[in-house]
């Protein structure tokens, strides 16, 4: 299939596909004359890249995971390690956000308490 169809099936854009090829995320496809011809396997990889991005992976991280991948089996061990690292990062971020939330609740209560004790008229 040509690049337009691959983009449509994978939910990406032609520009994104060309970019993924340029940075080595997507192996260079076969060519029919001057047209790129993509396989179903290429579309699956494009869908995997898009899904990973939606889950917070950056293209640099995906490059590290897919380094050396040329259409053979995906490097599942590397992917699994990257997923575990991403989960740890998210757990740390969530803990930090919960701490900030608790601080905001405490700060709000402190402000309300100090406002109630204020004897200065605002009229």
pLDDT digits (tens, 9 = 90+) for 92-122: 999 999 999 999 999 999 998 887 776 666 5
What is the distance between the alpha carbons of residues 26 and 24, in angstroms, rounded to a whole number? Answer: 5
**CB neighbours of residue 105 within 10 Å:** 10
- Interhelix angle 3-10/40-54, rounded to 10 degrees, is 40
CB 12 within 8 A of CB 18: no
pLDDT value for 67: 84
Q: How much is the pTM? A: 0.77
CB 3 within 8 A of CB 14: yes
Three-state DSSP string of the chain: CCHHHHHHHHCCCHHHHHHHHHCCCCCCCEEECCEEECCHHHHHHHHHHHHHHHCCCCHHHHHHHHCCCCCCCCCHHHHHHHHHHHHHHHHHHHHHHHHHHHHHHHHHHHHHHHHHCCCCCCC
pLDDT value for 121: 61
pLDDT value for 75: 84
Q: Which residues of the chain have pLDDT under 70?
A: 70-72, 118-123
Sign (positive or negative) of CA dihedral 63, 89, 49, 16: negative
């Amino acid at each position: 299939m040509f690049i337009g169809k691959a983009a449509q099936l994978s939910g990406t854009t032609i520009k994104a596909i060309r970019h993924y090829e340029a940075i080595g995320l997507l192996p260079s496809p076969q060519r029919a004359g001057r047209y790129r011809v993509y396989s179903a396997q290429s579309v699956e990889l494009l869908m995997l890249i898009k899904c990973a991005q939606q889950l917070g992976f950056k293209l640099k991280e995906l490059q590290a995971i897919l380094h050396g991948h040329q259409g053979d089996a995906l490097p599942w061990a590397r992917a699994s390690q990257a997923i575990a690292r991403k989960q740890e990062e998210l757990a740390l971020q969530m803990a930090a956000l919960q701490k900030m939330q608790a601080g905001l609740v405490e700060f709000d209560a402190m402000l309300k308490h100090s406002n109630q004790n204020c004897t200065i008229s605002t009229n």
